Structure 1
Amino acid sequence: MVPLEIERKFLVREGWSIPEGSTRVVIRQAYLTDAESNIEVRLRAKDDAFLMTVKAPRSDGGPSVNVRQEVEFPVPQTVFDQLWELAPDRLDKERWTVALDAAGTTASVDVYTGVLAGLRVVEIEFDDVEQARDFIVPDWFGEDVTGRAEWGNRQLSRGVPPVVDPVAGTTSAPPAVRD
């Protein structure tokens, strides 16, 4: 049976800062499938680890929970480097693991660098869909962007961020995306 990734994704509210005690990992990732493909094939370098991930969507999460089948495995750095050269869409970010409660629940806060500098997104992974739906959203979480393609890393890797309206606190798809 293929493992599942069950997650929700939010913007991070302006003014919030990463708390002391949070841990950081530097991530480079690239996509070998285009943004319109149903299957996602991703390369990721996390510090000194080199990984390939294949994701396929499932419909059992509904609009409020993103559920995907996910297979991830290590690849040798030489293979990673060769595939990296074939991947046109890339991004760089720092991922901070932030404690949410005393029970050990954590969130992953992605702080993008490069052409996406300034974007901050928080993701929470869950054991099941019910837990994801029942999640009580902390006050430092902003707009819920779960399942919105323009906030997916594959789309962001194309270098065109969504349009953020700071007054309304909402986002919309980016203007024309490059081919």
Structure 2
Amino acid sequence: MALEIERKFLLQETVESLVQQGEFQVVTEQRIEQTYLALDVNQELRVRKITDVVTGELSFTHTFKQGNGLAREEIEYSITESIYEQVVNAFQAVPLTKNRVTAEWNGMIVEIDIYDQLKLTVLEIEFESESEARAFEAPQWFGKDISEERQYSNKTVWRQLQKK
């Protein structure tokens, strides 16, 4: 199982304004629909439909995550569109939808998730170790550090969508 170590920030500025200011360069943009199949306090199981915004290319993934906060174990693999559709149709859940902008900043990759169903934009940056993540000093424009605030986790937001 791979270890995912990331910090998350509540981005207040738009991607467009940050590009104009020269803060980063956009590499790709994807449209993501994700549905959770099982959740508990420390684990999650989800599927995703990912569309490349420029090429229209589709991919589908199945992901298991364990843990909370800064570092979590993760297993992710590709699935077919047929499997994805069967699972999503069986659960009849409202998918969490967002655009993900992947950008290069200071020689590092950042991912910016812009959610549709709520006013929320989150910037994520991954690290090789927890010590590297904790030592990282984010520029002010990254916004508030929400790495360990569960109310901003995808699974919490998805649960809220199901109640509407």
Q: TM-score, structure 1 length as denominator?
A: 0.76
Distance 1:82 1:15, change over 3 A: closer
Q: Which has the higher helix share?
A: 2
CA contact (8 A) 1:28 1:93 kept: yes
Runs of 4+ in 1 over 4 A off after TM superposition: none
1:48-97, CA deviations, whole angstroms, 9 ceiling, x for partnerless residues?
01000000117xxxxxx611110000111100001112152521100011
Instruction: Quote how far apart the aligned CAs of 1:178 are.
Output: 3.3
Alpha carbons of structure 1 residues 38 and 119: separation in structure 2 relative to 1, 3 Å: same
The residue aligned with 1:100 is 105
AA matched with 1:11: L
Deviations 1:139-168 (A, max 9, x none): 2111111121110001111345xxxxxxxx
Name the amino acid aligned to 1:6.
I
Inter-partner Cα distance in structure 2 for 1:38 and 1:4: 14
Structure 1: stretches of 5+ with no match in the other structure: 59-64, 161-176
1:11–1:145 contact (8 Å) kept in structure 2 = yes
User: Structure 2: which amino acid aligns with 1:111?
Assistant: I
* SS at structure 2 position matched to 1:70: strand
Aligned residues of 1:52 and 1:72 also touching (Cα < 8 A): yes
- Partner Cα distance (1:72, 1:43) in 2: 9
Residue from 109, 112, 117 that aligns with 2:112: 109
Task: Give 1:75's aligned residue.
Answer: 79
Tell me how far apart the structure 2 counterparts of residues 70 and 146 of structure 1 sit (CA, whole Å): 16
Task: Count how many residue pairs are aligned between Structure 1 and Structure 2.
Answer: 151
Distance in 1, Cα, partners of 2:150 & 2:88: 23
CA distance, structure 2, for counterparts of residue 25 and residue 89 of structure 1:
19
After the TM superposition, which residues 4-15 of structure 1 pair with which residues of structure 2 at under 5 Å, given as runs? 4-14=3-13
% identical equivalent positions: 33
